[in-house]
Structure 1
């Protein structure tokens, strides 16, 4: 091989390397351009979707605030229910106490009233053959009402 062949070979190799370098550079540039275009597309997508995401976040914040209000309302209602339960219990105890007091008064009235249908031992005070008729009001006196409906009459045989 002579010198011209070597020079030609070096020139061909140099041109091949240059073409290879240009091809690599062009491919890299095209790849970089594609990546830049993809990045720009993603940025536009981000900007377009940013408002929707912000709306979702605002909606989530509103929902969270509503949940907190509902929890506070539920807590207040639970406290109100507990207060009403306590009031109901108190009123029930007062009613039971008043009922017991009335029962005691009724029992005492039955003990004090000789006309009562029950005696202290629970048996009837009037016998079937009793001399006192059942249509009469019984003995009259202070705190009593006679058969004519007059309070405090001492004797039934007195004429007014």
Structure 2
């Protein structure tokens, strides 16, 4: 081959290499543009969904606040229930003490009354149980 043939071959090779470089550059640029467009689309979706997500966060915070209020109410109710339970227990103990005192009074009255034999009063006007001091039902 002559020098002109080699020079032509080198020029053709350079043109092919430059075309390949241009093609690769164009394909890479096209891919970058597509990625930029996809990123812009994702950002747009994020912007659209952001108010919904923020609203969900607000609802979650409100629900949390309601739960705290309900727990505080439950604690207050539990404390009230405990206080009332203690009060009822104190009243029960006082009632039992009073009942025992009444029973003692009935027993003492029965001892003093000569008409009473074996714990039964012949002339008694009340019909309460001599052991408990509680009147019969009905």
TM bucket (normalised to shorter chain) is 0.7 to 0.9
Q: Aligned pair count?
A: 123
For each residue in 1:110-146, what CA deviation from the matched residue of structure 2 results, as whole angstroms up to 9, or x when unmatched? Answer: 1112233x3xxx27687xxxxxxx8xxxxxxxxxxxx
1:113 aligns with 2:113: yes
| Inter-partner Cα distance in structure 2 for 1:71 and 1:3 | 96
Structure number having the greater helix percentage: 2
Q: CA deviation at 1:20?
A: 0.6
| Paired residues for 1:133-148 under 5 Å | none
| Inter-partner Cα distance in structure 2 for 1:70 and 1:25 | 65
Looking at CA atoms only, which structure, 1 or 2, has the larger radius of gyration? 1
Structure 2 gaps of 5+ residues are: 124-138
Q: RMSD of the TM alignment (CA)?
A: 1.7
1:44 corresponds in structure 2 to 44
Cα contact 2:115–2:121 (8 A) shared by 1: yes
Select the structure with the greater relative contact order (CA < 8 A; seq sep ≥ 6).
2
TM-score normalised per structure 1: 0.72
| Paired residues for 1:72-83 under 5 Å | 72-83=72-83
| Inter-partner Cα distance in structure 2 for 1:84 and 1:5 | 113
2:96 corresponds in structure 1 to 96
Other structure's SS at 2:114 match: coil
1:54 aligns with 2:54: yes
TM-score normalised per structure 2: 0.83
